[in-house]
Amino acid sequence: MTTTRIEPRPLAPADGGTWSADPYSHALRTGRGPLFLRRADGWLLLLEVERWCADADAVDLEVVRRCEGAVLDVGCGPGRLVAALAARGRPVLGIDVSEAAVTRTLGLGGQALQRSVFEPLPAEGRWGTALLMDGNVGIGGDPGALLTRMSQLLSPGGLLIVETVPDPNLDERVQVHVTDTRGAAGSPFPWARLGTRSLLRHARRSGWRTVDRWTTGGRSFVALRSHTPNVPTAR
């Protein structure tokens, strides 16, 4: 697959250059942090670069085991889940706005495109599973818009697996930028952080059905099903 950029559709505010500039690109190329998300008030969230750049761990492999059909990994980062799914024979595509992330995923033998989730994507409406891992439910800073977009990408009744933050009630929409200990900083962008209860509230409003939730290895996940249209009964 190519990594050609295309113009976004007016679906929702795209995630733009969120992760596309240094120091994020530098961290992915080296496979090392420390790297942080920084709010305007100075609050820092440590990003787990080393884990993202390593092989899929046992917690990741539980997510891999639950996937159905062809898988779309939204915000695939350096590609550990794409590689794990491909190694098990699962059709999978990663998308990420970061050129460094896509390059690293391709280097692992996975398929990936440099693209925003809010841009046109291959096989829209036909994916069996979509993933929002590592906090990627925050993409675009508007969970409702992102969940609506995910329902457009999945097949009817398709599976969405979302990783949430440990605080179940957290529902935060903020402007952040990526920074490192050298003082390098990327451009500000909107982001969201959701705990499980908050995610479920947004999911219900967007027409999703909850099928499972679990916590393992200090990480929390929710599995949702997209709306399945009613099929007329034959007369």
CA torsion sign for 112, 117, 119, 121 is positive
d(Cα 131, Cα 91) in Å, to the nearest integer? 13
Q: What is the pLDDT of residues 33-80, one digit of tens each?
A: 999 999 989 999 999 999 999 999 999 999 999 999 999 999 999 999
Range of the domain at 83: 57-172+191-225
Q: Find tokens 């679990």 and name the residue.
A: 214
pTM over 0.75: yes
pLDDT confidence tier of residue 18, bands split at 50, 70 and 90: low
Write down the pLDDT at residue 186. 86
Closest CA to 63 of 88, 87, 81, 37: 81
To the nearest 10°, the Cα dihedral for 9, 16, 172, 53? 120
Bridge pairing between strands 71-74 and 127-132? parallel
- Assign residue 161 the CATH number of its domain: 3.40.50.150
Q: Residue 93 corresponds to which tokens in the numbers above?
A: 């595509």
160 within a domain of the structure (yes/no): yes
Q: Residue 91 corresponds to which tokens in the numbers above?
A: 């059709």
Q: What is the pLDDT of residues 78-91, one digit of tens each?
A: 999 999 999 999 99
Q: What is the pLDDT of residues 2-16, one digit of tens each?
A: 222 323 333 333 444
19 within a domain of the structure (yes/no): no
Number of domains in the chain: 1
4 within a domain of the structure (yes/no): no
Contact between 170 and 191 (Cβ < 8 Å):
no
31 within a domain of the structure (yes/no): no
36 within a domain of the structure (yes/no): no
